[in-house]
């Protein structure tokens, strides 16, 4: 995938960060925001095959993550848990997760490339890019890192809450998930303020 990062490096930006979120539409679990940073020297070493995480198989995503981490300038995944999503609302929860993701890197990028048309972060040096995960290598990489990290967390929750099928649905409203919620109600990791079937 050839990204649009070269345009921003040509404008004099040294460190670019791509940001994407995962879990916004889930009923359970956190919202996750991934950030992947690179300089112009780093980005030429990114592995082949990076694209929107939704277009990759789980095994391909898993294999890409360590390669992305080795080639980038910095990376991180930040979470806002279900209680924070309820308390703050999704926009502020995404902003909090973004702040935590960038804090994990210990780096302040010159420019942030963010997927979508709305800047949900509280950072100023942001360029929003509609369908950014198909245009920006860094946004696509961030989507992969965030997706794998959140998916693994939801798979781990399967052991604690086996009825809901979190290992397969990752907290999203699948038919099985809907039926279980209608039957036994919500778990402690569900978002209580979301409009959930039967509740």
d(CA 107, CA 15): 9
Number of domains making up the chain: 1
Rounded to 5°, angle at Cα 163 from 159 and 165: 75
Q: Is residue 156 included in any domain, yes or no? A: no
Name the strand (E) or helix (H) holding 16. Answer: strand 16-22
Q: 160, 167, 162, 195: which is closest to 180 by C-alpha?
A: 162
- 142 in Cβ contact with 97 (< 8 Å): no
Tell me the pTM.
0.94
Q: Is residue 164 included in any domain, yes or no? A: no
Rounded to 5°, angle at Cα 71 from 66 and 72: 100
Can you give the pLDDT of all 199 residues of the chain as single tens digits? 567 999 999 999 999 999 999 999 999 999 999 999 999 999 999 999 998 888 899 999 999 999 999 999 999 999 999 999 999 999 999 999 999 999 999 999 999 999 999 999 989 899 999 999 899 999 999 999 999 999 999 999 999 999 999 999 999 999 999 999 999 999 999 999 877 655 4
DSSP state string for 136-189: -HHHHHHHHHHHHHHHHHHHHHHHH-GGGTHHHHTTS--HHHHHHHHHH---TT
Rounded to 5°, angle at Cα 194 from 120 and 88: 40
Name the strand (E) or helix (H) holding 98. Answer: helix 90-105
Q: Is residue 136 included in any domain, yes or no? A: yes
The pLDDT value recorded for residue 1 is 55
Q: Where are the alpha helices (DSSP H) in 51-89?
A: 58-71, 82-88
Q: Is residue 161 included in any domain, yes or no? A: no
Q: Is residue 93 included in any domain, yes or no? A: yes
Q: Is residue 80 included in any domain, yes or no? A: yes
Q: Is residue 189 included in any domain, yes or no? A: no
The side-by-side arrangement of strands in the sheet containing 74-80 is 74-80, 31-38, 16-22, 111-115, 126-129
Domain interval for residue 18:
5-151
Say which CATH number the domain at 104 has: 3.30.420.10
Q: Is residue 40 included in any domain, yes or no? A: yes
């Amino acid at each position: 995938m050839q990204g649009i990062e070269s345009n921003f490096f040509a404008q004099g930006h040294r460190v670019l960060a791509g940001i994407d979120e995962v879990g916004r539409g889930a009923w359970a679990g956190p919202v996750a925001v991934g950030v992947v940073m690179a300089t112009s020297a780093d980005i030429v070493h990114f592995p082949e095959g990076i694209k929107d995480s939704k277009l990759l198989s789980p095994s391909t995503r898993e294999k890409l993550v360590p390669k992305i981490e080795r080639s980038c300038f910095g990376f991180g995944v930040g979470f806002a848990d279900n209680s924070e999503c309820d308390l703050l609302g999704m926009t502020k929860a995404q902003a909090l997760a973004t702040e935590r993701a960038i804090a994990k890197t210990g780096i302040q990028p010159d420019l942030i490339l963010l997927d979508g048309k709305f800047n949900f972060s509280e950072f100023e040096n942001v360029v929003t890019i509609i369908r950014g995960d198909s245009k920006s290598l860094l946004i696509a990489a961030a989507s992969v890192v965030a997706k794998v990290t959140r998916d693994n967390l939801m798979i781990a929750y399967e052991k604690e809450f086996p009825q809901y099928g979190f290992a397969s649905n990752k907290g999203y409203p699948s038919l099985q998930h809907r039926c279980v919620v209608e039957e036994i109600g919500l778990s402690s990791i569900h978002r209580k303020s979301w409009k959930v079937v039967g509740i």
